[in-house]
Every structure is written in C-alpha cells, then in structure tokens.
Amino acid sequence: MADKHKTLGEYIIENQSSFQYSSGELSRLINSIRLAAKVVNHEIRKAGLVDITGAAGEVNVQGEAQQKLDVYANDKFKETLINREIVCGIASEEEDDFVVVEGANGTNENKYVLMMDPLDGSSNIDVNVSVGTIFSIYRRVTPVGTPVTIEDFLQPGNRQVAAGYVAYGTSTMMVFTTGNGVNGFTLNPAIGTFYLSHPNMKINETGKIYSVSEGYFAHFEKGMQEFLKYCKEEEGTRPWTARYIGSLVADFHRNLLKGGIYVYPRSRTAPNGKLRLLYECNPMAFIAEQAGGKASDGFTRILDIQPTELHQRVPFYVGSKQMVEKAEEYMEQYKEHTL
C-alpha cells in the first residue's frame, strides 16, 4: 500500500543516497521540474477560459505548428531551470538549438543537462484530452565550468541518470526513475503538493492493448502490417484491444498501468518514424526498462542508439516485454521488405 502521506519532497530527501550521483544537485533538479510542472498544470486547467489554446502562429524546427501552450510550457520550464541555476544546458523539442546556461559570474559549475518535450500532445488541449511533459537528465561529458557543447546532449540513452514525465489528465501525475525503479506521484490540487501514489511501478510481462495510429496501415512496413494482423487474430488471448489517444504520455501511461504496447513505426509518410530520440524515446525507454518492460526501434534497443543529431527521429516500440518482442519477431521476419 502506498504511503499517500509521503510527499515528493520527502521521497527525494529519503532516497537521495540511492541516486547514481548524490551530490544534491539531482535532487534540486527534480524539485525544479516539480515546480515548473505545477505552474504549467495551473495554466492547462484554464484551457477554454482564457486564450491559451490553438496555434501560436510559429513553426518549430521539426516543421510542426507550435501551439500556444507549447511555447508557454517551454518558457516556464526554461525559466525555472535557468533562474535556479540548476543545469548547465537545456535542449528542447521546441528550440532549434540547445541553450547554454551561464551562471551569475559567467561560468556554470553544474554537472547536468536536461532535454525535454515541454508539452507532448499539445494539439489535444483544444479537445480536452490528456497531455504531458517528458524530461531526460544526463551528466555532462565536457569539463565542468566550460560552456556545454553538442557532445553533452548527443549521449545514448543508457547514460541517463534520470527521466520522467508529467501527465496532465483527470489527475496530474509525475512519474520518474533515477535508475532504481519507477515511482508515481499524484498532485493534490487543494494544497499544490505531489504525494507518492504509485510506488515501485511495474508493467505486466504482456497485455491486451496495442496503441498505434492504424490510419497509416497502408504506409507501414510489411513487418508492422503483419504484426497488426497478429494483434487482431482470434487465437489464445487475442484479439487485443486497440487504444490510441495520440498523446505519447497518455498512451504510455495507460499501458504502463494496464499492460500493452505503444508503436510509432516507420512509414512511407515518416520514413524515420516521427518521435524524437532524445526528447521522447530515450526517457520513455528508460522508464519502461526500469518498470520491467522493453523499448526498441523494431530491431535495436532504444537506449543503445548513438544519437547523431539533436532532433533525430526513430521508430519506437515500447511497453510490455513479450509484446515488444513479438513485434520484433515480425520485423525481423520481414526485414527484407523494408520501405
């Protein structure tokens, strides 16, 4: 039974020694994310009452129309992290390039860089569907005290020291890992405090839910098409149930709790997949593995992929271990039938 009286702050203090690096900086960084998430949550809850929905009129580096809340969330997370001088660099899905954070004296002695998707699924805000924030934390690889470089951000996911997401839904939850399991904290809106509600989260070995945008079926690779046919066969525990929200955080969170697989594969319309390796796939893969699940690009472990660019896209298969492995079987079987 969860100790629903334990706050996120208390949990961080009690478990600081179990963090991979327990200097206190990582604890302060997670606390900063918690603060920014509460600010963004407050703004999201006003959607429909004030002019914060719809397109902002700008296009991000991926060529996608930015929503007003994309810009707002990005600014709030950056502002919180920079003002607290808690990181030495930030990379965001909404920024063309990474941001170098300088200290008050022009140098920065902090050891961590943060990468984020400040508001995943933001187009769903207009129709009152759950959205989220995704974050990923690494120790820098360049010398402390010098400006960060692209090398600090292009690290494989297996070097993450922490990752998590905030789901803004019927309740607001912060789920994260520091490499010692996965824990979920639910916000009590009356007092603005996150409480431990889902300790030691584990995903089922298998499940009955598959999450994919099947409208692109004709554009998928042969292996993916055959896997989807398998999902629908009336054999054993199948057919599985199709559930697709269109917000990675919401789909992943449901499957984490209930068991399932989320897939955004390669297709003729998205030959490299659509999701970003650094901002979406790596942090979700880290969480999935820490919860006993698996994450793959269809052939390779996501966390072992060496990034080559800041906004790199990859196919993404994540969720219950047996379901991901079954998808990999089909991809391997039909690997000669690539796009």
CATH class of 209-333: alpha beta
CA distance 223 to 229: 10
Domain with CATH 3.30.540.10 in the chain: 8-198
pLDDT tens for residues 206-227?
999 999 999 999 999 999 999 9
- pLDDT reading at 72 higher than 90: no
The binding site for Mg(2+) comprises 93, 117, 119-120, 280
Please tell me which residue, 280 or 146, carries the higher pLDDT value: 280
- pLDDT (0 to 100) of residue 271: 95
pLDDT band per the 50, 70, 90 thresholds, residue 21: low
- pLDDT (0 to 100) of residue 235: 83
- 276 DSSP 8-state letter: B
pTM: 0.92
- 198 three-class SS: strand
Give the N- to C-terminal CA distance of the chain in Å, as an integer.
48
- pLDDT (0 to 100) of residue 126: 73
297's tokens: 């690009």
Could you please report the per-residue DSSP string of 189-211? TTTTEEEEEE-S----SS-SEEE
Domain with CATH 3.40.190.80 in the chain: 209-333
User: Which amino acid appears at position 90 of this protein?
Assistant: I
Report angle CA 118, 215, 296 to the nearest 5 degrees.
55
206's tokens: 């298998």
pLDDT tens for residues 146-192?
999 999 999 999 999 999 999 998 899 999 999 999 999 999 989 99
The binding site comprises 93, 117, 119-123, 244, 274, 280
pLDDT tens for residues 94-144?
999 999 998 766 667 889 999 999 999 877 777 777 899 999 999 999 999
The string over 132-158, giving b where at least 16 C-beta atoms fall within 10 Å of a residue's C-beta and e elsewhere, is: bbbbbbbbbeeeeeeebeeebbbbbbe
CA distance 15 to 163: 16
The binding site for substrate comprises 120-123, 244, 274
172 within 8 A of 320, measured Cβ to Cβ: no
- pLDDT (0 to 100) of residue 339: 76
- pLDDT (0 to 100) of residue 280: 98
Total Cβ atoms within 10 A of residue 236: 6
pLDDT tens for residues 31-48?
999 999 998 898 887 755
What CATH number labels 8-198?
Answer: 3.30.540.10
